[in-house]
Amino acid sequence: MYQTILNDASFYRGLVKFDEDLAEQARHNGCACGGKLHSARYPRKPRGVPDELQEDYSTRRSFCCAQEGCRKRTTPASFRFLSRRVYVGAVVVLVTALRHGATPARVAQLRAIVGVSGRTLEQWRLWWLDEFPRSSFWRWGRGQFATEVDHDSLPLSLLDSFRKPTAEERTVDLLRFILPLTTSALQEI
């Protein structure tokens, strides 16, 4: 069910639209100093998205204050990019979730779909199981759920805790939940 999302171009196009909405909201809000924000996109070389969407994922929206003396950069949260990671956020979440209970053949298939190495996959798994549960974000975030999330099966248990009918909706909900992590270099894998 989650595996089909990995090659679903319409799912990734939806994430582009969500990011555009977040960027426009940030631009409209302006800088904390009251200055106007100018576009300051920066290039990305994301991995894991369908080939036809590489161009849509090749830049991340960001802004720079036009006020002389401020010039502060504002980078809005992102549904597509999980901080500075090379692979897009949905891939980091879904491939790690699909690894739970997977046979070696299934792991090999997942790796072939998105081109992720076994070492990288292991780093993601360790991040979800060791670092994420100890983060201040998770200490706050786990209180947002009606039932306890099983730490031993993160992020699958987190995906399943969102009560939506489709895998796509649960994935978007999880990406929305972790939006605060998308702008912080402290959450690197």
The answer to the question of residue 45 being in a domain is yes
Mean pLDDT of the chain: 90
The answer to the question of residue 148 being in a domain is yes
| Domains contained in the chain, number | 1
State residue 27's pLDDT score. Answer: 95
Cα–Cα distance, 156 to 164 (Å, whole number): 14
Nearest one of 23, 160, 185 to 93, comparing CA atoms? 160
Instruction: Show the tokens assigned to 6.
Output: 């990995």
State residue 90's pLDDT score. Answer: 95
87 DSSP β-pair partners: 47
The answer to the question of residue 62 being in a domain is yes
% of the chain with per-residue pLDDT over 90: 71
Mean pLDDT, to the nearest integer, of 31-44?
93
The answer to the question of residue 189 being in a domain is no
Which domain does 148 fall in, by range?
3-183
60 DSSP β-pair partners: 42
Cis peptide before 133 (omega within 30 of 0): no
The answer to the question of residue 188 being in a domain is no
Residue 151: CB atoms within 10 A of its CB come to 16
Q: Give whole-number Cα distances, 23 to 17, 79, 188, in Å.
A: 10, 11, 22
Mean pLDDT, to the nearest integer, of 166-171?
96
Nearest one of 165, 130, 161, 134 to 147, comparing CA atoms? 161
Residue 21: CB atoms within 10 A of its CB come to 12
The answer to the question of residue 97 being in a domain is yes
> Which residue in this structure is represented by tokens 């076994």?
118
Give the residue with greater pLDDT, 110 vs 70.
70
Q: Is the pTM of this model over 0.85?
A: yes
Our CA dihedral for 80, 85, 87, 88, rounded to 10 degrees, sits at -10
